[in-house]
Every structure is written in structure tokens, then in C-alpha cells.
Amino acid sequence: MSTLVPPRLRNDTFAMPQGVEWVPVDEALELLRAALRPVTGTETLPVAQALGRVLAAPAVARRSNPPQPNSAVDGYGFAHAATGAGVQRLPLAEGRSAAGQPFDGALPEGMALRILTGAILPEGVDTVVLEEDCATDGRTISFDGPIKRGANTRKAGEDVAAGSEALAAGRMLSAADLALLTALGVGEVSVHRPLRVAVLSTGTELIADPAAPAAPHQIYDANRPMLLALLAGWGFVPVDLGHAPDDPAEIARRLDAGAREADAILTSGGASAGDEDHVSRLLGESGTLTSWRIAIKPGRPLALAMWQGVPVFGLPGNPVAAFTCALIFARPALLQLSGAGWRRSQGFAVPAAFAKRKKAGRREFLRARLNANGAAEVFASEGSGRISGLSWATGFVELPDEACDVAPGDPVRFLPYGAFGVSFGG
């Protein structure tokens, strides 16, 4: 088993051009895409164990699918050349061709042979007539011609030819991919090692255990289970760094652990420029912080930094903003680090079931879901403290950077959670 670990990312990975104030979402995504590259090593795995893993090299078909020309139906096979228009009568040959039990020999022209779905077409058979379209007395078959040459047959390699690329490098293997590779005789694949991503919550107000009593000033740490669950769903290995109070020494200790145990770190909280925003202060002192003020709602500055060679994504503390920024920024960045390549989430236009006037200057992601008519409703409150809206919604409506005036029935862009690889719910 060969393992190749790429070099670490440089300290200036997230450097931004001087003088940049508010970064539009698309520009921020483009900067991230350009800055990051795969950081995981590779390993060889049996296909059956490779679900959710990312191909490190193209998977090449060892065998064609189908491997041999075969019948697509249960029926009778014959040489097309011996048939024509009108009622056709062909004497039946002895024997049959079934899946796994090929007919031994060649079928003489002008005769027909019983053939079943998946059976190899023997020499002398290029066309199959469907059983239901035939009458037979056991010695002869008859059917109405003409029938198209090659009807109800599959050509060898018509799906995938041996030697051709079945799946490209960067492909995250699905259940369907396991079927495809197995059909093509591919037993092992070279895949990236799963990206390990550490999660740290920060805030003196946080307590971890929702079953434990909380003092009035305390807040249950909602971001950590959410982020760990998102990461697991995306095929990464989540590493739990717990929560730290707003204490730089403690946060630094946790980041050290994260850099040892993971390929990337997500923090939440303390990412702005306030008195208690120790994450951004600390990352700034480590000399590699870039605080990106991204023109997005919900969301506040996204802190991007390198900590001991490991990229840190400093998400906002507010759970709605943390969720949104994780989906929009962290996920594509982590996919890029994992070898899966950059992904743009695929949305689609639906009619709005709401009205809204939006000012220019930042992109807005509204918690939304489709109603019975396929129109997008938005959550009653845009307040980013309303965590329940994330559960209510099944996706986002994305409103453009520019000003817009949405009236009911106007087309808006809906991005289902599924477009961000987020499943469950509803």
C-alpha cells in the first residue's frame, strides 16, 4: 500500500490583496478555491469498502459492460438477415441460451433459439423478438415482421468499454459507483485518506451537556454537535476539540491539539473584532490571519488563518450564521482539501411565495422551503438568533448581491440543503 502525503499548505495561504474591504461571496469562493489544494495522502481500498471515499486516480474499466453481446429480454433470437415483412415463421433449434448458461455452438440462419434476459447472443443471433410478441407450438415460432436488426439486444461495451475511464479522479464514490466499478471488474481503487476536521467552540458562556442544568448566563453549545454532524455527513472524519472559554491560552492549547490531530480546524465564536473575540486576536498574533469581511447575510467576518500549517476556518458564533457559513464556505474549501475538488452548489429557480425588498451590497441566504405548489416560502423571521428556522427550512433562497424587489410569483434561486450534501430532516 503506497502512501503519499502532499506538502503542507503555506502560511500565506489565505493572504488577501491589500485594501480589500468587503469581499463579495463569489470572489471569496474564488479566492478559497485558488488558495487550497488536496492535503491528504492516498491508500488502496477494496471497492466494497470505498463508499464515500474520493478517487485519487481515475478508475479504468478492466472489463466491458456488458462484457458480451446479450439479450435485453426473454424471447427468441435469430439472424435478422433471414427475416422480412409480414408474418414470420422460424423453426426452433434445440436448446437455449440463458444467463450463466450460454448456448454451445452457432445457430443456423433461418432458425430461432429460445433466449433469456442477460444470456449471451450465440453466433448466428443478432436480433431478439420479445416472447410476448410471438406465438409458438414448441417447434416453430411466428411473429409479425419486420423487426429491427439488433432489436432487444445489447452490444458488448455499449455502456462502458474495457480500458476506458469509468470514473474520474476526485469522484466521491456513491452506492451506484460501487455497482459500476464492480461490474467493470475493478476490485481496488486508489482513494484519498479521509480529511480529518477538528471542531472547537469558543465562548465563556458555553456549556456542553444539554442534560445538565444551566445558569441564566450560560448557553448550551449548539454549534459543536451541528458542525460535527455536518462533517460526518460530508465524508470527513470529525475530531471533537470540545469548547474553550474566551481565554487565549486555552484556545491556543486546543488549536495545537487540532493541528496535531486534524487536517483542518473549524472554530465557532470569537471571530469578530470585539473585546472577547479571542479567536481572531489569537490567529492575528500567530501572524497568519486573514479576516475576510464577506458581504453575506447571515454571517459576519469569516476568519481564515493557518495554525501550525493547518488551515483554520473561524466561523461566526451565532448558530444560524455558523451553519450558513459552514455550508457556503467551509464545505467547498474542505472538499478541495480532501481531493474531491471544488463544488458549486446546484440551485434552481422556483416562484417566490413571499415578498421582499432587498438593498444592494450583500448576498442574502434566507431559510426557505418549498410549499405544496413548489413555490419558496421563507422563515417568518430573518433574525439570525432563530435556530428553529434551520430545522423549519429545507434549504435557502439565495438573493443576489444587487438590490432586488421580490414579489410573489417572481423566480428566485432555491438551494436545497441536499445541494450542500446535507441530508436528513423534514
Terminal-residue alpha carbon distance, the chain: 42
Site for ligand AMP in 200-219 (CB under 6 A): 201, 203, 205-206, 219
Q: Which stretch binds Mg ion (CB under 5 A): 181-189, 261-269, 378-386, 401-409?
A: 261-269
Residues 47, 50, 53, 56, CA torsion sign: negative
Q: Binding pattern to Mg ion, positions 215-254, x when CB under 5 A?
A: ----------------------------------------
Chain residue whose CB lies nearest ligand AMP: 317
For ligand AMP, the closer of residues 110 and 383 by Cβ is 383
Nearest Cα to Cα of residue 71 among 143, 158, 150: 150
**Helix axis angle, 331-338 to 25-35, nearest 10°:** 20
158: which 3 cell numbers? 455499449
- Helix, strand, coil share (%) of the chain residues, nearest 5: 20, 30, 45
Site for ligand AMP in 230-289 (CB under 6 A): 268-272
CB of 10 to ligand AMP, least distance (A): 28
Site for Mg ion in 263-302 (CB under 5 A): 269-270
Contact 122, 105 (CB under 8 A): yes
Contact 353, 392 (CB under 8 A): no
Contact status: 317 vs ligand AMP (CB under 6 A): yes
**Do strands 112-115 and 86-97 pair parallel, antiparallel, or not at all (unpaired)?**
parallel
CB of 385 to ligand AMP, least distance (A): 7
395 binds, among Mg ion, ligand AMP, none (CB under 5 to 8 A by kind): none
Q: Residue length, the chain?
A: 426
d(CA 229, CA 424): 11
CB of 316 to ligand AMP, least distance (A): 5
For ligand AMP, the closer of residues 320 and 422 by Cβ is 320
299 binds, among ligand AMP, Mg ion, none (CB under 5 to 8 A by kind): none
| E-only strand ranges, 225-327 | 237-244, 264-268, 290-294, 296-297, 302-307, 310-315
CB of 326 to Mg ion, least distance (A): 17
Q: Which residues bind ligand AMP (CB under 6 A)?
A: 201, 203, 205-206, 219, 221-223, 268-272, 316-319
